[in-house]
Amino acid sequence: MMGGLIFMVRDAMCIGLDFDKKCNEDRLMVRVGKLNYENLLHQNGSTIMDFTGQVMRGFIFIKASGFDFEEGLDFWIKRGLEFNRLLTQE
């Protein structure tokens, strides 16, 4: 659907890997939800997700500079999993 590798957790998209053809770089796609969206856009490497030409609030692209170290990758995986837990609470 999004042209990359997507990791689903409890049947919901959580995090993925995509290739930005404009920059020739890998980037993460993280589903963070709308509640924390604005704050997370200020993190290192994060940008709006607009691959369709429209901003997809609740989803963020992360440039390689934001996840090229283990701490950065861990940070974004945790954000994706936190939102996923909210989606899948029963």
Q: Which helix (H) or strand (E) holds 85?
A: helix 70-87
pLDDT score recorded for residue 2: 56
Nearest to 10 by CA among 75, 67, 90: 90
Radius of gyration of the chain (CA): 12
- Residues 32, 9 contacting (CB under 8 angstroms): no
pLDDT score recorded for residue 84: 92
Q: What is the model's pTM?
A: 0.86
Local confidence band at 53 (pLDDT 50, 70, 90 cut-offs) = confident
Look-up of token digits 């957790």: 9
| Residue 10 neighbours by CB under 8 Å, 6+ apart | 84, 87, 88
